[in-house]
């Protein structure tokens, strides 16, 4: 009779110690990851706690963890430890982008760092985050407009987008601008050479103090052709001047103003043009 009562009593099974431990670990993993996230600690710590909770949950209640593997170089992990590390690695990679977006304003894809010594972009490594903020592409600043402003004996460079900003990107010197033939003033030499009335096809007129000679070509249509030649008779420059106009001629590193101050092409064989030649010096003056 007693034996029958005992066999018919409902049998129940409580949580074993292993279940309790796993549930506690799962709770610590999930709750701890939320707390660490709120404390703004490095993403790897969030990843470890969250991965611990996920791995424990899968191990005890979902199964399929025994065949898991994870390779770290020559080291191959399997089973529970492989699931834990792979979860932590995956979560940490995902949190890296979140960390950068959350901790920088503006977002990292809108700016980059520049070396103060050389003015070149530099990569930025963030402690606690796997990876770095990469250098920009070479053409990222190609469309930016710059402003050049005079400052003492230099010209400072600033952004046109912030014209009132005191931040200076750099500067160029007078010599830098001279090298690319830029100038803002022109100075003329004291020596001015004015020829007499030169008929067409006049050759090798000496210009005192000027390192070349002047020859005339054909006249007609209110235009006077001329040539500048060196001491050997080789042509350095040929040009045409309309009426009493002038032009600037560059010979080597020097500049000369060549113009016509008087002209009459209606006299047949007596037609003439009167030329003026003067050395000019383009200058950069801050």
Better pLDDT: 95 or 282: 282
Residue 2 falls within a domain, yes or no? no
pLDDT for position 169: 82
pLDDT for position 186: 82
Task: Clarify whether residues 162 and 253 are in a common domain.
Answer: no
Peptide bond into 106 cis (omega under 30): yes
Per-residue pLDDT band at 33 (split at 50, 70, 90): confident
H or E element at residue 3: helix 2-8
pLDDT for position 211: 93
Taking the C-alpha atoms of residue 46 and residue 83, their distance in angstroms, rounded to an integer, is: 16
- Summarize the confidence of residues 230-248 as an average pLDDT: 94
Task: Clarify whether residues 159 and 239 are in a common domain.
Answer: no
55 and 83 Cβ atoms separated by less than 8 Å:
yes
Task: Clarify whether residues 66 and 129 are in a common domain.
Answer: yes
Residue 242 pLDDT more than 60? yes
Q: Are strands 235-242 and 223-229 parallel, antiparallel or unpaired?
A: antiparallel
153 and 286 Cβ atoms separated by less than 8 Å:
yes
Angle among Cα 250, 256, 259 to the nearest 5 degrees reads: 115
Task: Clarify whether residues 246 and 218 are in a common domain.
Answer: yes
- Summarize the confidence of residues 69-77 as an average pLDDT: 51
Better pLDDT: 44 or 240: 240
Residue 47 falls within a domain, yes or no? yes
Task: Clarify whether residues 164 and 199 are in a common domain.
Answer: no
Taking the C-alpha atoms of residue 167 and residue 87, their distance in angstroms, rounded to an integer, is: 46
Task: Clarify whether residues 129 and 215 are in a common domain.
Answer: no
Residue 6 falls within a domain, yes or no? no
Task: Clarify whether residues 173 and 221 are in a common domain.
Answer: no
Q: What is the DSSP letter of 59?
A: I
Residue 10 falls within a domain, yes or no? no
The beta strand positions in 115-252, using DSSP E, are: 121-122, 124-125, 132-133, 146-151, 154-159, 170-173, 185-194, 205-206, 213-220, 223-229, 235-242, 246-251
b/e for 205-231, b at 16 or more Cβ within 10 A? Answer: bebeebebbbbbbebeeebbbbbbbee
Over residues 84-136, the pLDDT tens digits come to: 677 777 776 666 666 666 667 777 777 888 888 887 888 887 765 656 777 88
Task: Clarify whether residues 158 and 191 are in a common domain.
Answer: no
Over residues 137-170, the pLDDT tens digits come to: 888 878 888 888 877 778 888 888 776 667 888 8
Q: What is the DSSP letter of 209?
A: T
Better pLDDT: 273 or 15: 273
Residue 4 falls within a domain, yes or no? no
N-to-C CA span, the chain: 117
- Summarize the confidence of residues 174-194 as an average pLDDT: 83
Better pLDDT: 189 or 207: 207
Per-residue pLDDT band at 2 (split at 50, 70, 90): very low
- Where in the sequence is the domain holding 162, given as residue range(s)? 146-179
Task: Clarify whether residues 25 and 130 are in a common domain.
Answer: yes
Task: Clarify whether residues 61 and 150 are in a common domain.
Answer: no
Residue 8 falls within a domain, yes or no? no
pLDDT for position 81: 64
The two tokens of residue 165 are 């900003």
Residue 88 falls within a domain, yes or no? yes
Distant-in-sequence, close-in-space partners of 33: CB < 8 Å, separation ≥ 6: 46, 47, 49, 50, 53
Task: Clarify whether residues 151 and 231 are in a common domain.
Answer: no
Taking the C-alpha atoms of residue 237 and residue 247, their distance in angstroms, rounded to an integer, is: 12
Structural domain count of the chain: 3
Residue 3 pLDDT more than 50? no
Per-residue pLDDT band at 4 (split at 50, 70, 90): very low
Task: Clarify whether residues 172 and 71 are in a common domain.
Answer: no
> Which of 179, 204, 234 is the endpoint of a domain?
179
């Amino acid at each position: 009779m007693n034996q029958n009562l005992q066999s018919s009593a409902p049998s129940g099974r409580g949580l074993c110690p292993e279940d309790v431990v796993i549930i506690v670990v799962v709770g610590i993993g999930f709750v701890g990851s939320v707390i660490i996230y709120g404390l703004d600690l490095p993403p790897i710590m969030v990843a470890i706690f969250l991965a611990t909770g996920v791995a424990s949950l899968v191990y005890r209640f979902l199964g399929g963890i025994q065949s898991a593997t994870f390779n770290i170089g020559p080291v191959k992990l399997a089973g529970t430890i492989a699931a834990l590390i792979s979860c932590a690695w995956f979560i940490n990679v995902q949190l890296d982008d979140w960390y950068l977006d959350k901790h920088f304003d503006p977002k990292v894809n809108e700016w980059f760092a520049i070396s103060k010594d050389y003015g070149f972009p530099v990569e930025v490594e963030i402690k606690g985050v796997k990876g770095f903020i990469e250098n920009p592409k070479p053409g990222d600043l190609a469309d930016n407009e710059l402003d050049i402003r005079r400052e003492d004996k230099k010209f400072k460079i600033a952004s046109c987008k912030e014209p009132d900003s005191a931040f200076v990107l750099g500067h160029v010197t007078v010599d830098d601008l001279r090298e690319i033939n830029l100038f803002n003033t022109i100075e003329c030499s004291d020596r001015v050479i004015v020829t007499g009335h030169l008929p067409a096809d006049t050759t090798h007129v000496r210009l005192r103090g000027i390192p070349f000679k002047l020859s005339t070509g054909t006249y007609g249509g209110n235009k006077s052709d001329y040539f500048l030649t060196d001491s050997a008779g080789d042509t350095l420059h040929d040009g045409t001047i309309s009426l009493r106009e002038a032009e600037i001629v560059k010979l080597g590193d020097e500049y000369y103003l060549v113009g016509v101050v008087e002209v009459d092409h209606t006299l047949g064989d007596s037609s003439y043009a009167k030329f003026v030649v003067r050395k000019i010096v383009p200058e950069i003056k801050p």
